[in-house]
Structure 1
Amino acid sequence: MALKNPIGIRYLSGPRLRRAVVAGAYRVIGSSDILDRINVFPVADSDTGKNMSATMWTVLQGLRGCRALSVGEVAGIVAEAALRGARGNSGVIMAQFFQGLAEGLAGERRVEIRGLARALGQAAARARQALACPQEGTILSAISAFAVRAEELAERLGDFVPVLREGLSAAREAVRRSRDILPALREAGVVDAGALGFLRFLEGIVHYISTGEVEEVRRTGPSPQSPQVKVRFNPASISFRYCTECTVKGKELPIQRIKAALSELGDSVVVAGSPSFLHLHVHTNTPARVLELARGFGKTAAEKVDDMWAEHAEAYGGPKQGHIALLVDTSCDLPDHLLTRYRIQIVPLRVRLGDAEYRDRVELTPRAFYERIRGVETSGTSQPPPSDFLEAFEKLGRAFQHVVALVLAADLSGTWNAARIAAEELKGEGIDVEVVDTGTLSAGLGLCTWAAARGAEAGLDPRQVVQLAREAAARVRFWVGLPDLSPLGRSGRVPWVAGWLSGRLRVGFVVSVGQGRIQPVAPAWGVRGLLSRIVSLAVEPLGEMRRPAAIIPHASATGVAEALAGKITECCHTGRLELHIVDASPALGVHAGLGAFGVALLDMGWAEGRIAELKGRG
């Protein structure tokens, strides 16, 4: 029989905790629609309700059939289920809250209110620690307000009911204030969806401890007084396209190092769990790199990649917000942190390994490509279909006034033509797209993209950014050392006979890449010979550069790339060299062969001066 009046509760047992969590979970699930509707921060993609509900369903499944009597054991079951099944930013933070609660209640058979309050304080701290960049006005503020108020009252009140009720009031006030803290919420006229989800969880618990009732799942929806959500279609606000998640199992997982590594690849980084089991969440433009990084730390599972562009486009529509969007194909070898910093979007080339095909950098990283290529008889790359460029141009065109696409050499691939066809199709739709044939690829394309990104950041107009990119591409010096020419011979980039002879005689070649051509420069025997020849070619250009930038791509040749980096550094006497080593795009590696390496150079001092000149003319 349900109790209609508040009941005094002096201790919390395992069964009571289980029923309380079930009550809270049902309240969150029943609020899914309103949480989706007000989802604005950090990305307006209308999925907070779905994600928090999915997290709570896994908790309910974990508790199904649970007969544990100790509060510590039940808390552990809840945390484990939440970490395995968490979805989205707020779902993973909730999982970390449960993890902290489980740690605080570990070994306890039952607990009084003071013990629970201490565990709540630990849970709030752990939730905050999970984020690379904690943000007030979010679910974190609601969790902290609840925990702080509970700790304040627990010392003088021995009853769970008034303490949790007052904690609920504090959390409700934190949710209300979220609108004043975050500009995005204030503009939309809503509170934070994740914070409201946590509040709904608490409401379910307090309703249960006050009445003894666990509400059935139902859609609560917004109240008639709820303001109209004012959200504009603005893909420009989504700097990182893919919401990427997975779990990692291992021993002594370095949580802070993982968090820092993910921060190099995107934002909204959440790392929840313990040193033996983690749930990772990040918004990124290179999901394959995120998953590869995770696999380097332990055994991964529950890998998930959601396209937030598509989710945002499905929910909203509106005017253009940004000025210039830069886009490249994935033959571009630019370090991940620079792609991240300049918000450069990508269109993936297709990569073939045997009968399987992957989207480069989205489904397979270059490093994984080189690991797998040894086990297949055939491999290759192909251009993206025009539809891939069309989709990217349309989505960027809704948010940006201009789109500049920098693509690999038209004489080396059909990628430029695919991009051109897509751009032509959009001419009558008011989407301004300029497709630039850079005449290069790999690190050469990376350097001219870097220069263009700096120009766009400095405020150049689209015509000037395109001009800067073309001039930079013409000035890039790019040499690649090939163990032999047979891969180029098979692909038709050099005469077949030259490739065959090179393979038979084991003669390597240094080739130059640029102006739409791959040209043999000089033969060399062995890796040392190739390395020495490339360094000798780089000495003179380096001496003429005020602020040289160098990118060293390699096809599974890390040691040689590091040796080349050392030699290039020795040759540079300005003290202003910026050098990066990257895994070469499969677009280069397939034709250059395993073990290939190279260096591309561009004077960023020239780029800075040219940007200033162009701005002066504007």
Structure 2
Amino acid sequence: MQQRQTPPTDQPLSQIPDHGMDQASDQTVDQLTDQASDQAPGHPQAESAPEGQAQPSRISYLDGIRFRRVVRAAARRLIEKHGHLNAINVFPVPDGDTGSNMAGTMKSIVASTSATPESSIGRMSSIVAESALMGARGNSGVILAQFLAGFSEGVKDLSRVSPRDFAEAASLAARRAVEAIAHPKEGTILTVIRDWAEHLRENCHSYKDFHHLLHDSLDRARQSVQETREKLAALKAADVVDAGGLGFVYLLEGIAEFTERGTINRRDKTDGQSETAGTAGTPGGADNATLGEAQERVAVEELTYGYCTECLIRSGATSPVDREELRVRLEELGDSIVVAGAGAVTRVHVHTDTPDTVFAIAAEYGEVSHHKAEDMLRQHRDLLAAMAGGHPQAAPAPTGTAVVTDSTCDLPRELLDQYSIRTVPLRLFLDDEEFVDKVSISADEFNRRLPSSRSARTSQPAPADFRTVYEEVLATHAQVASLHVTAMYSGTHQSAATVARMVSPHIAAVDCRTLTVGLGLVVLEAARRAQTGMDAAEVARLAARDADNLHVYVSMETLDFAVRGGRMSRGTGMVAKLLHIKPVLCFDPRKGGKVDVAAKGIGPRRAGEKLFALLERAVANMDNPRFAVAHVGAPDTAARYAKELEARFGVAPLYVMPASPVLGCHSGPGACAVALLGDPKDG
């Protein structure tokens, strides 16, 4: 390739301000100033061209300040186009979130570098890589994070890089991205990254100018992403290119435009959703109708595993994670495995049916955080509902009422799926170890570990967790009924209500004044009403009424946790233990969910008899009784209670299941809860 002729001036990108990314202007390079950068050592002023002669700026090196700006320009472009990427996302699963995941990863970088004037590209790339690993989301997001970590490795000892240095680091980054994947496939983002990096490596000696090198290599990346359609059957069937690969091209476009214009350009506000995949030089080859049908063409039954599972591992300086060993171990649990990392930070991504097992294995390698387990089947179904057979822009306005609850609600997975009930998880703490309820630890595992723990407690979800769920469900529903655990023992409802007010006036948050299977019965009734077309306000009103007609009784095997939690004095607990007294607790919604001792029995059998006597008294005043049973590591007791319910009342419980950890924290191992919901008798 013949070397381009360029003038000898070097317009430093360090002179170009970011305008905070969110206030980027469309000014030209000549109109922009950056006083802080102008004063920075090693950033020469641009030489002027002869009067009347226009010359393109030449960029002979990248340092930390320039690298930060091109990364942020790349982020802007990808974030603008994330909706288009979601629309064509069919591989590895058609869940329509590749754009959102890659955008989320880049937003993490933008947030972490917003006030970081680091002049060394080695140090700045390290900051970018770590923030990418911390915020990586989804398969493509984690691959992108590993690419950036590999690039950081390639420039770690450099203060600035030439085009040749850049090409060598990009080649290393491409290799590291492939190495992070258990079974890399042709036709994905990995292919596009590799082809782009190979072009850089083969041609970098012909360039002294980043501007021309990046523009020419962008053409190769565009060609590569077009070729992905022929390399994967799922892409060919849907007639689209790989969404992750196209996302990488969007990043390169943002950089190329920045080097051309010298500004972070704010484009239209449509998130790229009006753009077909064949425009702007990034051919996806599908028209609007095809885009809308892309995910629909991929049979949902082809999903081998149900949950997109991710976490972050921080290891000690003296005990780094053996990422290859971890990758091999995870192969037994799922597919789409990515184990990415740099230094002490490792990001794990896997599609699996057992998220809690993945998190348990990860915990063997260091401190685990940023747990995530998303139901891909539900995501795919929600996406198809929103698509309505066409491009997302053509989808009808969201309709109907969605029901959201928290993880203290005990409902079987099949009922949650049947009624599309979304759950926001609480945080759990066993001794000093933190878990995400029903995500990083199952109820069974929690109950197994509870007897040997020194302390067990719960913590309400973060406001950001509520915001995420609300925004997701409002994409497909017009309204939301958000039903939560009693405010007497948790700040969950208050957090939900606060976020609801910020997100939309169409969210009704309700303190249901109960928990575990009591909340489960209330939420189940609400979801059934929502499916009939009832609006959120009425669903919420009737849920509050149901709580008034709810009874929840809990038999206990041990009093230690009641004493530990302050619900029983130490002296009373000692006496009860000596006399083998087993109390029956009542979570009374009519008292705001307050826990009272409703009855006492000598030994477990007598306590069970007392519990059923309380149920008989309550059933006498209602019609259509519905029951549910939950237990804390006591399946035999739960089975006995279920059999007794049917014998006494002629009604089998709607379900029997392990209780949410919140019940175990209150009542300890061996506890068994029975919830009763009925309709008040007339008169």
How would you bin the TM-score normalised by the shorter chain? Answer: 0.5 to 0.7
Q: What pairs up with 1:106-255 in 2 under 5 angstroms?
A: 106-216=156-266, 218=268, 219-224=271-276, 226-227=286-287, 228-229=290-291, 230=293, 231-232=295-296, 234-251=299-316, 252-255=320-323
Q: How many residues align?
A: 389
SS in 2 for 1:155: helix
The change in CA–CA distance for 1:353 and 1:223 in structure 2 (over 3 A counts) is closer
| 1:253-290 deviation line (CA, Å, top 9, x unaligned) | 11111111221111111111125110111111111111
Hey, what does 1:471 align to over in structure 2? Answer: none
- What is the letter of the counterpart of residue 314 of structure 2? K
In structure 2, how many angstroms separate the alpha carbons of the residues matched to 1:107 and 1:353? 41
Hey, what does 2:332 align to over in structure 1? Answer: 264
| 1:87-136 deviation line (CA, Å, top 9, x unaligned) | 11111111001000101010211111111110000100111111111111
Hey, what does 2:59 align to over in structure 1? Answer: 9
SS in 2 for 1:316: helix
SS in 1 for 2:160: coil
Shift of 1:17: 1.0
In structure 1, how many angstroms separate the alpha carbons of the residues matched to 2:141 and 2:439? 26
Hey, what does 2:448 align to over in structure 1? Answer: 370
CA contact (8 A) 1:5 1:211 kept: no
In structure 1, how many angstroms separate the alpha carbons of the residues matched to 2:436 and 2:209? 58
| 1:321-350 deviation line (CA, Å, top 9, x unaligned) | xxxxxxxxxxxxxxxxxxxxxxxxxxxxxx
CA contact (8 A) 1:54 1:86 kept: yes
Hey, what does 1:526 align to over in structure 2? Answer: none
Shift of 1:139: 0.5
Runs of 4+ residues deviating >4 angstroms:
3-6, 357-362, 365-368, 376-379
Residues 1:310 and 2:337 aligned together: no
SS in 1 for 2:265: coil
SS in 2 for 1:132: coil
Residues 1:298 and 2:366 aligned together: yes
In structure 2, how many angstroms separate the alpha carbons of the residues matched to 1:117 and 1:358? 41
The change in CA–CA distance for 1:288 and 1:168 in structure 2 (over 3 A counts) is same
- What is the letter of the counterpart of residue 221 of structure 1? Q
Hey, what does 1:448 align to over in structure 2? Answer: none
CA contact (8 A) 2:145 2:340 kept: yes
SS in 2 for 1:305: strand
In structure 2, how many angstroms separate the alpha carbons of the residues matched to 1:67 and 1:90? 28
CA contact (8 A) 2:315 2:366 kept: yes
In structure 2, how many angstroms separate the alpha carbons of the residues matched to 1:274 and 1:365? 33
CA contact (8 A) 2:113 2:128 kept: yes
The change in CA–CA distance for 1:370 and 1:275 in structure 2 (over 3 A counts) is farther
In structure 2, how many angstroms separate the alpha carbons of the residues matched to 1:377 and 1:272? 34
Aligned counterpart for 2:130 among listed residues 80, 94, 106: 80
SS in 2 for 1:272: strand
In structure 1, how many angstroms separate the alpha carbons of the residues matched to 2:373 and 2:359? 10
- What is the letter of the counterpart of residue 187 of structure 1? A
Q: What pairs up with 1:507-526 in 2 under 5 angstroms?
A: none
In structure 1, how many angstroms separate the alpha carbons of the residues matched to 2:456 and 2:159? 60
Say what the alpha-carbon RMSD is for the aligned residues.
4.6
Hey, what does 1:54 align to over in structure 2? Answer: 104
Shift of 1:2: 2.7
The change in CA–CA distance for 1:23 and 1:275 in structure 2 (over 3 A counts) is closer
| 1:457-515 deviation line (CA, Å, top 9, x unaligned) | xxxxxxxxxxxxxxxxxxxxxxxxxxxxx9xxx9xxxx979xxxxxxxxxxxxxxx9xx
CA contact (8 A) 1:42 1:268 kept: yes
Shift of 1:81: 0.8
The change in CA–CA distance for 1:110 and 1:123 in structure 2 (over 3 A counts) is same
- What is the letter of the counterpart of residue 299 of structure 2? N
CA contact (8 A) 2:106 2:132 kept: yes
Aligned counterpart for 1:284 among listed residues 348, 352, 355: 352
SS in 1 for 2:207: coil
CA contact (8 A) 1:79 1:95 kept: yes
| 1:140-177 deviation line (CA, Å, top 9, x unaligned) | 01110111000111123222122212211111111001
In structure 2, how many angstroms separate the alpha carbons of the residues matched to 1:100 and 1:305? 26
The change in CA–CA distance for 1:235 and 1:191 in structure 2 (over 3 A counts) is same
Hey, what does 1:579 align to over in structure 2? Answer: none
TM-score (norm 1): 0.55
The change in CA–CA distance for 1:273 and 1:358 in structure 2 (over 3 A counts) is closer
CA contact (8 A) 1:255 1:275 kept: no
The change in CA–CA distance for 1:183 and 1:156 in structure 2 (over 3 A counts) is same
CA contact (8 A) 2:104 2:136 kept: yes
Shift of 1:366: 4.7
Shift of 1:362: 6.7
CA contact (8 A) 1:288 1:365 kept: no
SS in 2 for 1:64: coil
In structure 1, how many angstroms separate the alpha carbons of the residues matched to 2:59 and 2:362? 44
Shift of 1:211: 2.2
The change in CA–CA distance for 1:377 and 1:248 in structure 2 (over 3 A counts) is closer
Please, which runs of 5 or more residues in structure 1 have no aligned partner?
319-351, 380-413, 426-485, 498-512, 518-589, 592-618
CA contact (8 A) 1:286 1:362 kept: no
In structure 1, how many angstroms separate the alpha carbons of the residues matched to 2:248 and 2:139? 13
CA contact (8 A) 2:371 2:440 kept: no
In structure 1, how many angstroms separate the alpha carbons of the residues matched to 2:247 and 2:56? 24
Hey, what does 2:565 align to over in structure 1? Answer: none
| 1:523-573 deviation line (CA, Å, top 9, x unaligned) | xxxxxxxxxxxxxxxxxxxxxxxxxxxxxxxxxxxxxxxxxxxxxxxxxxx
